[in-house]
Amino acid sequence: MARIVIDARQYTTSTGRYTFRLVEHLEKIDAENDYIVLLQPEDMHAYEFTNRRFAKLPCPHKEFTFAEQLALNKQIRDLKPDLVHFTMTQQPVLYRGKTVSTMHDLTTVRFRNPSKNAVVFKIKQWVYRWVNRRVARKSQAVITPSQYVKDDIVNFAHIDPARVTVTYEAADPINEAAQPIETLKNKQFIMYLGRPTPHKNLERLIDAFVTLRASHPDLYLVLAGKKDANYDRIEQLVTAKGIKNVYFTGFISDGQLRWLYEHCAAYIFPSLSEGFGLPGLEAMAQGAPVVSSNATCLPEVYDDAAHYFDPLDVQNIADVINEVLTNKDLRQELVTKGKKQAEKYSWQRTAEQTLAIYNHVLSSK
């Protein structure tokens, strides 16, 4: 029996989705080890355990802070764990115990965020590069969500590939009843869901949409996701260029998201860099035809269940989306293949692979 600490401080992000599902399924399969799950105080309600070997503990130390490096380090050492699973790269780099680290991608190392101060962000990016290398080298085992990220980290940090294991993520079904968005009822639309940071490539998608409207004048582009400084910047750009039929939803409920997936002409994923590409897989699970960038891990995860374009070529983006809009058979083929592709992935399998990694690290000297 071992004591395992899981760092779950990023509950409200995509990393949090991964951690939540991992812990949920570890509860079901591990009756031997004791677990302490670290949560931000405001997220303590998020996990209600059914396995008596699992406990939660408030952890107020934010990522990218001195408190993370010092106070979190002390909090973990005081718990005297046999193993710590850091579910993100941000962690106390001086912690000396046995660790497993999940490294989701190297996107932050390579792309800047225009909503942040350029000089400050550049300094933070330099530090983050060092942290990524340090974490990859000091962890007894590294987990990545795709083979692409594994190869990327091995080359970036110059570590032994045998220390890195791919554990794919999975799409969650939306159980909430579909809730129509009145503005979009009876309209043809393509959609994107997610963050609007530069590597998501939304500006080229918007330019491609302008091209598409020449042959599809009634088509709408729906950009779904919580408003932030980057979405404000993109919305101002759309307004300044006088582009019509672009609809920004802001935050939407699961029911509204389900309705969008079920009624869109296509889900578009134009990203330049992803670690796994979960939104596209979720769209497939809900029956949306997916048109995707061919960059980084996306062909690995989606296989032949998506129709691909070059994300740097605006005309190619428009042409490939147009093929799906105008070819009913292709659209139906993507829906059928997409549902089957989403079913290949399982959080249960993710948890089983992760537990095997824990046991391997615990048994090593």
Residues 226 and 275 occupy one common structural domain: yes
Residues 326 and 357 occupy one common structural domain: no
177 inside domain: no
Residues 130 and 113 occupy one common structural domain: yes
Residues 265 and 315 occupy one common structural domain: yes
- Over the stretch 304-349, which tens digit does the pLDDT of each residue have? 999 999 999 999 999 999 999 999 999 999 999 999 999 999 999 9
13 inside domain: yes
Residues 259 and 359 occupy one common structural domain: no
- Over the stretch 101-142, which tens digit does the pLDDT of each residue have? 999 999 888 877 666 666 776 777 788 899 999 999 999 999
- Over the stretch 136-159, which tens digit does the pLDDT of each residue have? 999 999 999 999 999 999 999 999
pTM over 0.85: yes
Mean of the pLDDT values across residues 239-245? 96
113 φ/ψ sector (left φ>0, alpha ψ -120 to 50, else beta): beta
Q: Which residues pair with 4 in a beta bridge?
A: 35, 83
**Domain limits at 271?**
182-343
Residues 264 and 353 occupy one common structural domain: no
Tell me how far apart the alpha carbons of residues 148 and 270 are, in angstroms, rounded to a whole number: 17
Residues 278 and 308 occupy one common structural domain: yes
Residues 85 and 214 occupy one common structural domain: no
175 inside domain: no
Residues 143 and 23 occupy one common structural domain: yes
Q: What is the DSSP string of 293-326?
A: E-STTHHHHHGGGEEEE-TT-HHHHHHHHHHHHH
Residues 317 and 350 occupy one common structural domain: no
Q: What are the start-end ranges of the E strands in 127-167?
A: 141-144, 164-166
**Terminal C-alpha separation, the chain:** 16
Q: Which of 221, 280, 213, 219 has its CA nearest to residue 249?
A: 221
Q: Give every strand in the sheet of 220-224, ordered side by side.
A: 246-250, 220-224, 189-193, 266-269, 290-293, 306-309
The CATH number covering residue 81 comes to 3.40.50.2000
244 φ/ψ sector (left φ>0, alpha ψ -120 to 50, else beta): beta
As for how many domains the chain has, the answer is 2
Which helix (H) or strand (E) element contains residue 221?
A: strand 220-224
